[in-house]
Structure 1
Amino acid sequence: MISKTTIDNVFDTARVEEVIGDFVQLKKSGSNFKGLSPFTDERTPSFMVSPVKQIWKDFSSGKGGNVVAFLMEHEHFTYPEAIKYLAKKYGIEIEETQQTDEQKKQANERESLYLVSEFAKEYFKHVLFKTEEGKAIGLSYFKERGFTEQTIKKFDLGFSPDSWDAFTNHAIKKRYKLDYLEKTGLTIVKDDTSTGTATKMFDRFKGRVMFPIRSMSGRTLGFGGRILTNDKKAAKYLNSPESDIYHKSKVLYGIYHAKQSIAKEDNCYLVEGYTDVIQFHQTGIENVVSSSGTALTPEQIRLVNRLTQNITVLFDGDAAGLRASLRGVDLILEQGMNVKICTFPEGEDPDSFSRKNSLEELKSYLEEKSQDFISFKASLLASEAKDDPIKKADTIRDMVVSISKIPDVIKQEVYIKECARIMDISEAVLFNTLAQLLQKEQRDASRKKRSEKKTMEVVASEKKPVEKVDAQYELERKIIELLLLYGPKEEDFEELILETDEKGEIDFKPETQTKTVFRKIYLDLQEDEIEFTNDAFKELYTAITDRFMREEDLKVDDFVKVLEPEKAHAVTDILMEEEKYSLHNWERKEIYVKEKKHSVSQIVSETILNLRRELINQKIKELSETIKQQGPDDEQVNLQDVVDYITLKKLLSEKLRRVV
């Protein structure tokens, strides 16, 4: 267990905007920051971070909370892991008690897979540096590739012994379960045909140098292993299989080490292999990631899109397969990103070229040789078409197809004009072709939408009717919001003193009193003996009022950090509700939204009156049901109660109309 002192120290030190800034590109928006949601596919920012309140809210997915909640949602950390991650980031020493064997057993399966992967990474590193086999084979290979010991340690490179079960046996001796070794893909388990039991175990990465694949936060997800022998039957590179923690289509090799540099340089270099990434880092260019030999996916592109809008794709000098690789460029364009392409001289790749050149020479080459995607694609396809008119027509259509993927219409027009200039064809023809392509896409999208709508209608017809809005829930939520935002604020409230005149009729006499919002709400609810019906709001109300009773103030960031994740999420929803309007930049459209703080007393009074009216409505319904089941004697008494409540409801309604 991590000590409370350490947890308090972490919360006091960690800044939510700094931590989230490692994963999402944030831009200033008033007193807050905004960015693209890291949880959904979007092109318009709906993700808000409040440095003042030290909370965040993602309006597209509904997620929100404090800095720990972000790490738990985004990186799937447990609470202790999130605290440890922040402690490491801010150089805070962790005080904790040793985990017992029982506590280790209670770790969930996903967490167990992470633990096994981390153990494997450390094992492979140990073999590389501390064993004769590792030093003679693995370390020698890395040094032949030009990697320094510092670089090898930075990327946690390792070596798996050339033995069928060396790693597996060692892991089992250390009490790691075979089930998790198999699920991570580190161990291959096969049934013994003679007995029908799973007794044959093999190390998947036997005799390979190891490249740990890490998440954006640094967790070990899986491995890539390169064989060093000339065995033609074995794959040169072998990756971990898909698991609950490793999805190759959603991971970019090197993103952990590159994320800060990508955001700082506002550009990301995309290469193909592990060694390309490592060699670039060693040379001094750190904003580089790799798709690890797999075809580029939208999920991988979105990882980069959180950090920058600019990607430079680096291709080997070997032109074979280059055209197929360009399909990934279209995917990048679809995400609304800016793409440049750079190729190396024939026979060179990013690894070999960066080894032969200094940092200045490499930077200069990348700057001079990086072409806009349309110029590069035009020159490549035009050289293939040569003097063949049919091939040239296909080339031009291919380029227009790429342009049609761009969501920004201004960029589309600029690229069409550039394409017309390069390919010596009229702009009108290209614009006409683009229009046809876009119309076809719209028709296809429309058909798909109609099909989905029919499906949804069928599903909806089978569902229960939509439930009505729970008025009391909304009013209780509003009270929590008012306490959080304006609790210690002093306001002039028009109190309603209930009086009965000479004729016996009930009326309200207004009287102005100055008090804090907290005191107004607390005393009014106490006076009416009102209790919250929603359990979460009831607990929050108790926690908030206890804090005000003790301190007469409530610092939101301090309050949120001590709450359980679920309650912290509820508080964030409430606090960030109004921030979403700033995402739309209404001021640019000359629409100015009146801020709530200008009429706090009005909103507080209105909320309490509405809550009273809602409770009176409930009481009238209860009495009406009781009357139906009672005899004539009791009925008259209850009827009078109903009349009194209706009179009170009428007075409240009149008062609400005047306030509103």
Structure 2
Amino acid sequence: MISKSTIDKVFETARVEEVIGDFVQLKKAGSNFKGLSPFSDERTPSFMVSPVKQIWKDFSTGKGGNAVAFLMEHEHFTYPEAIKYLAKKYNIEIEETQQTNEQKEKANARESLYLVSEFANTYFQKTLHKTNPGKAIGLSYFKERGFTPETIKKFDLGYSLDEWQAFSDEALKQGYNIEFLEKTGLTIVKGDKHFDRFKGRVMFPIKSMSGRVLGFGGRILTNDKKAAKYLNSPESDIYHKSKVLYGIYNAKQAIAKEDNCYLVEGYTDVIQFHQTGIHNVVSSSGTALTPEQIRLINRLTNNITVLFDGDAAGIRASLRGIDLILEQGMNVKVCGFPEGEDPDSFARENTLEELTTYLEEHATDFIRYKASVLVDEAKNDPIKRAETIKDIVVSISKIPDRIKQEIYLRECSKIMDISETVLFSTLQQLTQKALSNANKAYKKEQQKNVFEVVKNEPQKQTVDVQYELERKIIQILLLYGNRTEIFDDLLLKENDESELVLESEEMEAKVFQKIYLDLQEDEMEFTNDHFKTLYYNIIEKLNQDPEYAIENLVNDVTPDVASEITTILMEDERYELSNWQVQNIFPKEKTDTVAQLVNQTILNLRSFLISKKIDELIQEVKENLHEQHPNILEDVMNYKKLDNLLSRKLDKPL
């Protein structure tokens, strides 16, 4: 268990904008930051981070919370893992008690997969550096590739012994379950026997954006033609190769800083670039580029430069991935290397300055590059030339931005020496065809669900007034609870004619005190359980310490309550996502009228509850018409008088 003092220190030290900034590209929006949601596929930012309140809110999914909640949502950390991650990030020493065997057994399956993967990562590194075969075979290979000891350590490179069961036996000896060794793909189980999947390979751990080991890539060093040169971990609950990019953990900060990501094919390409001094580089790990991988980059930058080998296969592979990148609305450049060279070899043979200069001079806009490559292939064949032009227009049709489409079409017209009219006509045909196909698919889906349509007309939803008012009280407490205000307090009195009237009396009090006293006086109770719990939590915290930062409450509640708190706390900031200032629209600050806001909310709640009580009394009379109800009728009249007084104060129609 992690000690409370460690947890408190983590919360005091960690900055939510710094933590989230490692995973999402954040841009300044007033006093806050905004970015693309890491939990949904979107092109318009709906994700907001507040440095002042130390919370975040994703308006596209409704999720929200503090830095720990983000790590638990995004990286699927457990609470202790999130605390440990932050402690490591901010160099905080962790005080914790040793886990018992019983506690280890209770760890859930997903957590166990991570634990097994971390153990394997440590084991392979130890084998590389501490065993004779590791030094003679694995370490020698890495040194031949030109990797320095610092680079080898930075990327946690390792070696798996050329023995059938060395790793698996050691893992079992250390108490790891064979079930999880098999599920991670580290061990192959056949009947009552087990074997090491990565036998005799140098190991490249594949990490998540936060640095957790998800799986491995292994390269064989022998000339065994039956064995694959590179072998990756199979799919598991924690490793989905289509959603992972090799090197993202080491590259994320550089990608955001440089506002560009270099995309290569192999592990050694990434490592060699990194060692040379270019850190904003990732790899698709030898698999075909996927939309999920592109979106992972898009959280950090909108610019991708695709680097590929000088051979024809490398060029073709890169061209296939470009359309996918364009579909995501990203800016794409491509850069090839001289024939016979790849990013790894070129980076090894050149200095940082030479490599940087080469990339700057040879990185070409995708349209120019694709045109030059395909035109060269078509040469003097008119049929192929026509197909080439259409191929380029197909790529342009993938771009969601109409302005960019037009610019690229004009560029294509110049390069291919063809009229813009023809290109625009071709683009329109492609767009209409895509729209037609989409409509057909939609209609087909609708026909499938035709028998599932509910015949009854949907009932009009009514507003739950009490819920909204209770929520408004919680919002006021969260935003302004510890502020001191001068309130126009209303007292119910009889005048000289024995009529009930509301008299004003000024009082100075904290917002939370005013609300508490008013609710106590009227014996009003919250009907919503979440709000009720929040209300008493806030009142208790502020009673103990009037200077308590209420936004810290998000650290002490359940995830669903935390999500509600962040929604309330971030409501005032939400307009910043739309850049209203640019349109000369400046929303009024609520802090100017806090006392009035409190009074009106309490009065509205009183008015609502009185009306509700009147309705209940009238219903009681209706249900018992044969009986006399003098007391009830008198109560109704009194409540009506009070309701009229409140309505006048609220300027409501009587």
List per-residue Cα deviations over 1:135-169 (Å, max 9, x = no partner).
22211221222212221111111111222222112
Q: Which runs of 5+ in 2 are unaligned?
A: none
1:108-257 equivalent positions in 2, closer than 5 A: 108-191=108-191, 199-257=192-250
SS at match of 2:602: helix
Matches within 5 A, 1:5-154: 5-154=5-154
Supply the distance in 2 between the matched residues of 1:454 and 1:507 (Cα, whole angstroms): 64
Task: Measure how far apart 1:557 and its partner are.
Answer: 4.2
Displacement of 1:495 in angstroms is: 2.7
Give, in whole Å, the separation in 2 of the partners of 1:270 and 1:515: 60
Which secondary structure does the structure 2 equivalent of 1:44 belong to?
coil
- Paired AA for residue 473 in structure 2: I
User: 206-215 vs 324-333, which deviates more?
Assistant: 324-333
CA gap of 1:285–1:479, structure 2 versus 1, over 3 A, is same
Deviation at 1:294, TM superposition (A): 0.6
Alpha-carbon contact 1:606-1:659 (below 8 Å) kept? no
Q: Equivalent residue of 1:163, what SS?
A: coil
TM-score, normalised relative to structure 1: 0.94
Q: What corresponds to 2:465 in structure 1?
A: 471
> Aligned pair 1:260/2:245, yes or no?
no
Distance 1:634 1:42 in 2: 64
1:648 matched to 2:642: yes
Change (3 A) 1:494 1:74: same
Q: Pick one of 312, 317, 338 that aligns with 2:310.
A: 317
* Displacement of 1:637: 2.7
Q: CA deviation at 1:233?
A: 1.7
Distance 1:51 1:236, change over 3 A: same
Secondary structure at the aligned position of 1:340 is classed as: strand
Look up the SS of the partner of 1:146 in the other structure. Answer: coil
Report 1:478-497 matches (<5 A): 478-497=472-491
How far off its partner does 1:596 sit? 1.8
Distance 1:518 1:494 in 2: 15
Deviates more, 1:65-74 or 1:468-477: 468-477
- Within 5 A, what are the aligned runs for 1:615-626? 615-626=609-620
Q: Which moved more, 1:211-220 or 1:407-416?
A: 407-416
What is the CA distance between 1:615 and its match in structure 2?
2.2
Inter-partner Cα distance in structure 1 for 2:112 and 2:360: 45
Cα distance, 1:226 vs structure 2:
1.1
CA–CA separation in structure 1 for the residues paired with 2:448 and 2:209: 38
Q: Provide the rounded CA distance (Å) in 2 between the counterparts of 1:484 and 1:492.
A: 19
Q: Is the contact made by 1:316 and 1:347 (CA closer than 8 Å) also made in structure 2?
A: yes
Partner of 2:599: 605
The answer on whether the counterparts of 1:521 and 1:604 sit within 8 Å (CA) in structure 2 is yes
Cα–Cα, structure 1 residues 176 and 627, in superposed 2: closer, same or farther, change >3 Å?
farther
Q: Shift of residue 53 of structure 1?
A: 0.6
The 2-side partners of 1:149 and 1:436 are apart by: 57
Shift of 1:482: 0.4
SS in 2 for 1:353: helix
Corresponding position of 2:419: 426
Moved more, 200-209 or 29-38: 200-209
Aligned to 1:337: 330
Are the aligned partners of 1:52 and 1:557 in contact in 2 as well (CA < 8 Å)? no
1:7–1:83 CA contact under 8 A, matched in 2: yes
Instruction: Return closer, same or farther for 1:570/1:121 CA change in 2, 3 Å cut-off.
Output: same
- Report the counterpart of residue 518 of structure 1 in structure 2: 512
Of 528, 535, 556, the residue aligned with 1:534 is 528
Q: One-letter code of the match for 2:184?
A: T
State the 1:473 CA deviation. Answer: 1.9
The equivalent of 2:554 in structure 1 is 560
Report SS of the residue matched to 1:57.
strand
Give the AA of the match of 1:542.
Answer: Y
Alignment CA distance shift 1:554-1:466 (3 Å): farther
Offset at residue 616 of structure 1 (A): 2.5
Instruction: Specify the SS of the correspondent of 2:175.
Output: coil
* d(CA) in 2 for partners of 1:401, 1:533: 58
Partner of 1:196: none
Q: Which amino acid aligns with 2:568?
A: I
Q: 1:211 and 1:441 mapped to 2: Cα distance?
A: 41
2:361 to 357, 368, 376: 368
Letter of the 1:11 counterpart:
F
Q: Are the equivalent residues in 1 in contact too, given 2:273–2:344 (CA < 8 A)? A: yes
AA paired with 1:66? N
Letter in 2 for 1:394: E
User: How far 1:51 moved relative to its partner?
Assistant: 0.6
Letter of the structure 2 residue corresponding to residue 569 of structure 1: S
**Worse-matched range after superposition: 236-245 or 503-512:** 503-512
CA distance in 2, matches of 1:136, 1:114: 30
SS in 1 for 2:454: helix
Cα distance in structure 2, aligned partners of 1:493 and 1:453: 57
| Cα contact 2:62–2:563 (8 A) shared by 1 | no
Query: CA 1:389/1:44 → structure 2, altered by over 3 Å: closer, same or farther?
Result: same
Q: What secondary structure, in the 3-state scheme, does the structure 2 residue paired with 1:474 have?
A: helix
1:581-621 deviation digits (Å, cap 9, x = unpaired): 11111222233322222322222222112212232244334
- Per the TM alignment, residue 242 of structure 1 is displaced from its structure 2 partner at its CA by 1.0
CA shift for structure 1 position 469: 3.2
Comparing 147-156 and 556-565, the one that deviates more: 556-565
| Cα distance in 2, alignment partners of residues 625 and 135 from structure 1 | 88
**Partner-residue secondary structure (3-state), 1:34:** strand
- SS of 1:61's equivalent in the other structure is coil
Report if the CA contact (8 A) 2:600-2:650 is conserved. yes
Give the AA of the match of 1:476: E
- After superposition, the C-alpha distances for 1:399-436 in whole angstroms (9 at most, x for unaligned) are 11111111222211211111111101111211221222
Structure 2 partner of 1:293: 286
| Rounded Cα–Cα distance in structure 1 between residues aligned with 2:465 and 2:130 | 67
Tell me the distance in 2 between the aligned counterparts of 1:25 and 1:659.
Answer: 50
Deviation, structure 1 residue 357: 1.3
**Structure 2 residue corresponding to 1:307, chosen from 288, 300, 313:** 300
- Secondary structure of residue in 2 paired with 1:226: strand
Are the structure 2 counterparts of residues 501 and 300 from structure 1 closer, same or farther at C-alpha, using a change threshold of 3 Å?
A: same
Identity %: 68
Indicate the larger mover: 106-115 or 614-623: 614-623
Shift of residue 536 of structure 1? Answer: 1.8
2:586 is aligned with 1:592: yes
8 A contact 2:157–2:204 mirrored in 1: yes
Stretch deviating more after TM superposition (215-224 or 602-611)? 602-611
Matched, 1:387 2:380: yes
Contact 2:16 2:49 (C-alpha < 8 Å) held by counterparts: yes
Measured against aligned partners, the alpha-carbon deviations of 1:374-393 in whole angstroms (never above 9, x if no partner) come to 01000000001101111111
CA distance in 1, matches of 2:19, 2:137: 39
**Superposed displacement of residue 565, structure 1:** 3.7
Q: 1:449: Cα distance to partner? A: 4.4
Q: Which residue of 1 aligns with 2:265?
A: 272
The AA in structure 2 aligned to 1:527 is E
User: What CA deviation, in whole Å up to 9, does each residue of 1:239-262 have, x standing for no partner?
Assistant: 111111111110000000000111
Q: Give, in whole Å, the separation in 1 of the partners of 2:506 and 2:571.
A: 30
Partners of 1:316 and 1:346 within 8 A in 2: yes
Cα deviation, residue 108, structure 1: 1.2
